Amino acid sequence: MSATEGIHSPQPRPVDPTRSEDAYVLSEQIIPDAHSKLKLRGSSEDILVPYMCIGAWAWGDKATWYYTPDEMPRIRDAWEVLRNAGLNWIDTAQVYGSGESERICGDLFQGLKRSDFVVQTKWFPLPDTTNVVLRWHAIVKKLRASLERLRLKHVDVYLVHGPVHSSSISTVAKGLAECVRSGLTRTVGVSNYDAHEMIKMADALAKHDIPLAVNQCEYSILRRHPESHGLIRTCRERGIVFQSYAPLAEGRLTGKYSQGNEPPRTYRFSSYSIHDIEPVVAVLRRIAEARRVNVPAVALNYDLNKGAIPVVGVRNSEQVHQNIQAMGWRLSQDEIRRIEAVSFEGRTSFLWQHG
């Protein structure tokens, strides 16, 4: 099935300027490049990670991304370029390609020292038999299965993929804590949680002396909801790293699509009409031309300015080089204001996207 089944966006809404955060959330003294590091908080040690995470959803996923095995040489090339550049943080999940993404990551990791890469995966919490019957034990059991596919003894980050688990937050926290105590993961996090749910999880984990390291939500120029509703600010105040998935809105902010060349229908995040998106891309393109970078680099740099760590997918080395152009410089406040004048609020969904 498609992991975004049923997620469609109606008419876009502008962002209420009174709810916008400061133009710079990331300290103006910080200008991340590909070798810059930040800390994820762990119970016994912190982890140093890059300011950009590489999304592996498309690796092995046929339902949404139309993956075919002949892509593997290009993916291997991309991974080589990423590691050489210092971008060695990979994001995958149990549901991506029904586990195939994790298997591909496991193949890529072979022959490397464990310290050469950082990997995070996600527990898929929808109520299948294992999750309902085993409760907190299911979280551990599913991670062990992920580790078999990854061919690893531990991951660096283990996330709850969404806030739809049938068990209580305290029960889920117990399962995550057991994963840490068992040495199966170094840190834990959540995805798609709103600020209230995130605080509840952080407080529940604190009872086990384990910090909440990450919250990953959709955030881009086309979906600023996590910012306008205080989630990014709350993450900053609590020392939780905020990751932004779909920072390029599945290609919509790259300039590659037009009214005569629409994205595939399976690309459903921020799936507004191209007619509505074209004015946004036009602003990005003008800034990109003035700065002599590509359009995706401007969109990704915007997220970095807001204190978000972009989780951006790559399928070839060309995309890696495009993404790296987002680093080593900062948008000006005037450029950010121009972008925000055409940005969208975005929406939440009852089932999945709360944050």
User: What confidence tens digit (pLDDT) does each residue in 191-220 have?
Assistant: 999 999 999 999 999 999 999 999 999 999
Q: Is 3.90.870.10 the CATH classification of the domain at 17-340?
A: no
Q: Does residue 255 surpass a pLDDT of 50? A: yes
The model's pTM is 0.93
Domain parsing of the chain, residue ranges: 17-340
- State pLDDT tens for residues 76-117: 999 999 999 999 999 999 999 999 999 999 999 999 999 999
Q: Is residue 18 helix, strand or coil? A: helix
Band of pLDDT at residue 22, cut at 50, 70 and 90: low
User: With contact defined as beta carbons under 8 Å apart, do 339 and 275 qualify?
Assistant: no
- Look at residue 116 in the predicted model and tell me its pLDDT: 98
Alpha helices in the chain (DSSP H): 72-85, 100-109, 129-134, 136-150, 169-181, 195-206, 225-228, 231-238, 274-291, 295-305, 317-324, 333-340
Closest C-alpha to 193, from 179, 205, 180, 185 = 205
- Look at residue 24 in the predicted model and tell me its pLDDT: 63
Least confident of 75-79, 167-171, 293-297, 327-331: 167-171
